[in-house]
Structure 1
Amino acid sequence: MLFPTRCPACGHENRAEFADSSIHDLTCASCGARYCLFIRKQRFEVLFDLGTRALMDGYAREAVASFAAALERFFEFYVRAFALERAANTEGDFTAASAELDATWKHVASQSERQLGMFALAYLLREGCAPDFLSPQALGADFRNRVIHRGSLPRREEVEAYAARVFALIDRLLTELGSGAAHAELAQEQAFAAHLDALPDGVTAVFEEHPGMFRAQRFGSERPGKTHPARSVGAGPLSAPLNDAQAFARALAERGSLLTLLKKS
């Protein structure tokens, strides 16, 4: 999906396509200036936002695929956050730990079941209890498989229920991760830094933080001196605990309009 970005040289609005790396090497269609756009956003966030946009635009089946992919990529994010957090707590070398993690992940990169197993073990080691939320029923696996693998055409209310389930699970796990999520974010910052160092002269670096469905405090915004204005848009203190559907509906009401503006602006 395309999103708008403004040229830092002339202000012309260009359209870019989300990249896996969150790094976008662009050339302005108006003045020809070259610039590199770094988006501080994890892949699971982008996928969930794409699912939300698809749902808002009436593409229910396509939304299911994005929500399912968002959950899988969040499990990867959790594993990375846990492994890097553990390396930091044992005073290990962060860069070396990140490289070893990448090498290890290659063994399961194309196998969802093994990735789920890695997540289950990471959760057990970090939280000290079994991940009782990983049953097929709790994850909505049957619905997901019917839509993605058997070509079922879901009703909007079914997709909203599935999205609410995925949203609630990710939101809960981000809360439990707390500041631990910052370790996975640091890995992204290191990748940004490596690309930034390799940019040729004359290329301007631009960093952006796009609004999304998940709240800023889930990513360690309580760290001293760290603020993320773009992520905090629409975020506020929760009153009472909400069930899955209520939480997703509230987030959609608060931040869904921001996603639409981001797409169309």
Structure 2
Amino acid sequence: MRFPAVCPQCQREVQVEFADSAVHDVTCPHCSTRFCVFVRKQKFEVLFDLGTRALMDGYAREAVASFAAALERFFEFYVRSFAFERAALAGQTDFDGAADILESTWRHVSSQSERQVGMMALAYLLREGREPDFLTAKALGADFRNRVIHRGYLPRREEVDAYAARVFALIDRLLGELGTGAAHAELAQERQFAAHLAALPDGVTAVFEEHPGMFRARRFAGAGGEKLGVKNLPGQPARASAPTKATAPMNDAQAFQKALKERGPLLKGLRK
């Protein structure tokens, strides 16, 4: 899958293929300018957005594979966020040292998804102090996922919608619980970017991009901001807020469809 970038020299659009590292070394096909695009986006976000785009284009089975991979990579993101957060709370200031220990530890489970789920369960227990009730096979939609990915089942659109809603709701919930703890894993990506940036040869322009997406739009829109409203002038009595109509909470399917309607159009720039 590719995303559009703009050449810093000729200002023409260039299609760039997503790289696993989120670092993209590009040579403009129009003017031969070399530049490097750093995409500030976690892998689970990219995978979920690719799944969403596949679903929008009618590729239901391909969407399931991307959604399933997004959930696995989010569990890794959660574990990394927790590990870095715990190290910071313990007063450890050597971020690189903590990252090296985490990398060497993750290698023991990197090729076994069941062990990764086990690490996720323990990280959640230690951080939140309660059982990770979302890790049951039913809650994860494991049977549906396995039928599609391993047994060649051709799912109906409504089945994929339900699975996507389940994954979206779980990641959205856990991101909310992580809160500022997610910033520790974000910092790890920034340090990787810095290392690549320092090694760029002369004449190569660095371009940093912040792509919209199903989760990123929610995480960063209005972060830390307050609602805008009519302010009281000095000496005036406080104005009563207008009553708001109570709305029933949305279920997973409704929340996903709402997000899809609001943020799906932001993904139309992605191409095969």
**1:263 to 2:264 alignment:** no
Correspondence for 2:44: 44
**1:241 to 2:249 alignment:** yes
Correspondence for 2:62: 62
2:160 aligned counterpart, secondary structure? helix
Runs of 4+ more than 6 Å apart: none
Distance 1:198 1:220 in 2: 33
1:96 aligned counterpart, secondary structure? helix
Shift of the 2–253 alpha-carbon distance from structure 1 to 2, 3 Å rule, reads same
Structure 1 length as normaliser, TM-score? 0.91
Distance 2:193 2:126 in 1: 30
> Could you tell me which amino acid in structure 2 is paired with residue 51 of structure 1?
G
8 Å Cα contact 2:217/2:263 also seen in 1: no
Structure 2 length as normaliser, TM-score? 0.88
8 Å Cα contact 1:213/1:251 also seen in 2: yes
**1:179 to 2:180 alignment:** yes
> Could you tell me which amino acid in structure 2 is paired with residue 263 of structure 1?
L
- 1:164-195 Cα deviation digits (max 9, x unpaired): 00000000000000000000000000000000
Shift of the 192–39 alpha-carbon distance from structure 1 to 2, 3 Å rule, reads same
Shift of the 167–217 alpha-carbon distance from structure 1 to 2, 3 Å rule, reads closer
Alignment of 1:140-219 (within 5 A): 140-216=141-217, 218=219
Correspondence for 1:15: 15
Count of paired positions: 249
Distance 1:126 1:54 in 2: 34
Correspondence for 2:261: 253
Distance 2:248 2:5 in 1: 37
RMSD: 1.5
1:35 aligned counterpart, secondary structure? strand
8 Å Cα contact 2:212/2:266 also seen in 1: yes
8 Å Cα contact 2:47/2:70 also seen in 1: yes
Shift of 1:70: 0.2
Shift of the 153–217 alpha-carbon distance from structure 1 to 2, 3 Å rule, reads closer
1:205 aligned counterpart, secondary structure? strand
Distance 2:103 2:201 in 1: 27
> Could you tell me which amino acid in structure 1 is paired with residue 101 of structure 2?
E
Shift of 1:222: 3.9
Shift of the 221–189 alpha-carbon distance from structure 1 to 2, 3 Å rule, reads farther
Distance 2:43 2:162 in 1: 22
Distance 1:130 1:25 in 2: 43
Shift of 1:263: 2.1
Shift of 1:218: 3.4
Shift of the 215–21 alpha-carbon distance from structure 1 to 2, 3 Å rule, reads closer
**1:99 to 2:100 alignment:** yes
Distance 1:80 1:95 in 2: 13
Distance 2:7 2:214 in 1: 26
Distance 1:219 1:250 in 2: 17
Larger Rg: 2
2:203 aligned counterpart, secondary structure? coil
8 Å Cα contact 2:28/2:34 also seen in 1: yes
8 Å Cα contact 1:77/1:184 also seen in 2: yes
- 1:93-138 Cα deviation digits (max 9, x unpaired): 2121111111111111110000000000000000000101110011
Report which stretch shifted further, 27-36 or 214-223: 214-223
Distance 2:173 2:182 in 1: 13
- 1:16-75 Cα deviation digits (max 9, x unpaired): 111111000000001111000000000000000000000000000000000000000000
> Could you tell me which amino acid in structure 2 is paired with residue 198 of structure 1?
A
> Could you tell me which amino acid in structure 1 is paired with residue 74 of structure 2?
F
Shift of the 252–85 alpha-carbon distance from structure 1 to 2, 3 Å rule, reads same
Distance 2:80 2:221 in 1: 16
